[in-house]
Copies of this chain bind each other. A is one copy, B any other.
Amino acid sequence: MAKSKTKNAFYAQSGGVTAVINASAGGVIETARKYPKKIGKVYAGRNGIIGALTEDLIDTSKESVAAIKALRHTPSGAFGSCRYKLKSLEQNRREYERLIEVFKAHDIGYFFYNGGGDSADTCLKVSQLAETMGYSIQAIHVPKTVDNDLPITDNCPGFGSVAKYIAVSTREASFDVASMAKTSTKVFILEVMGRHAGWIAAAGGLASTADTEIPIIILFPEINFDKAKFLAKVDENVKKYGYCTVVVSEGVKSADGKFLADQGLKDAFGHAQLGGVAPVVASIIKEGLGLKYHWGVADYLQRAARHIASKSDVDQAYTMGKAAVELALKGNNSVMPTVVRVSNKPYKWKVGVTPLNKVANVEKMMPKDFITDDGFGITAKCRQYLEPLIQGEDYPPYKNGMPQYVRLKNVAVKKKLGEFKL
Q: Are B300 and A297 in contact, with the CB atoms below 8 A?
A: no
Interface string of A196-213 (1 = CB under 8 A from B): 000000000011010010
Which B residues are CB-close (under 8 A) to A316?
none
Q: Are B405 and A175 in contact, with the CB atoms below 8 A?
A: yes
Beyond A17-B179, A294-B300, A304-B172, whether A401 also contacts B392 by CB under 8 A is yes
- Asked whether any CB of chain B lies closer than 8 Å to the CB of A169, the reply is yes
Beyond A173-B301, A295-B299, A299-B295, whether A16 also contacts B283 by CB under 8 A is no
- Asked whether any CB of chain B lies closer than 8 Å to the CB of A228, the reply is no
Which B residues are CB-close (under 8 A) to A303?
176
- Asked whether any CB of chain B lies closer than 8 Å to the CB of A75, the reply is yes
Q: Are A395 and B395 in contact, with the CB atoms below 8 A?
A: yes
Give Cα distance in the complex from A370 to B338, angstroms.
Answer: 51
Q: Are B300 and A298 in contact, with the CB atoms below 8 A?
A: no
Beta-carbon nearest neighbor of A13 in chain B: B179
Which B residues are CB-close (under 8 A) to A400?
209, 387, 390-391
Give Cα distance in the complex from A307 to B168, angstroms.
Answer: 8
Give Cα distance in the complex from A301 to B247, angstroms.
Answer: 13
Q: Are A306 and B172 in contact, with the CB atoms below 8 A?
A: yes
- Asked whether any CB of chain B lies closer than 8 Å to the CB of A342, the reply is no
Which B residues are CB-close (under 8 A) to A310?
401
Pick the residue among B76, B271, B387 that contacts A175 (CB under 8 A).
B76
Question: For this complex, into which size category does the number of interface residues on chain A fall?
Answer: 35 or more
Pick the residue among B172, B268, B387 that contacts A264 (CB under 8 A).
B268
Beta-carbon nearest neighbor of A406 in chain B: B212
Q: Are A84 and B296 in contact, with the CB atoms below 8 A?
A: no
Which B residues are CB-close (under 8 A) to A263?
267-268, 273
Interface residues of A in 149-208 (CB under 8 A from B): 164, 167-169, 171-173, 175-184, 188, 190, 206-207
Q: Are B209 and A402 in contact, with the CB atoms below 8 A?
A: yes
* Smallest CB separation, A171 vs chain B (Å): 7
Q: Are B183 and A402 in contact, with the CB atoms below 8 A?
A: no
Q: Are A50 and B183 in contact, with the CB atoms below 8 A?
A: yes
* Smallest CB separation, A268 vs chain B (Å): 4
- Asked whether any CB of chain B lies closer than 8 Å to the CB of A47, the reply is yes
Interface residues of A in 306-332 (CB under 8 A from B): 306-308, 310
Pick the residue among B16, B283, B306, B308 that contacts A273 (CB under 8 A).
B283
Q: Are A283 and B297 in contact, with the CB atoms below 8 A?
A: no
Interface string of A79-101 (1 = CB under 8 A from B): 01111100000000000000000
Which B residues are CB-close (under 8 A) to A392?
398, 401
Q: Are B402 and A171 in contact, with the CB atoms below 8 A?
A: yes
- Asked whether any CB of chain B lies closer than 8 Å to the CB of A122, the reply is no
Pairs of residues from A and B, 7 with the lowest C-beta to C-beta distance, nearest first: A296-B299, A76-B175, A77-B179, A264-B268, A390-B401, A172-B304, A47-B182
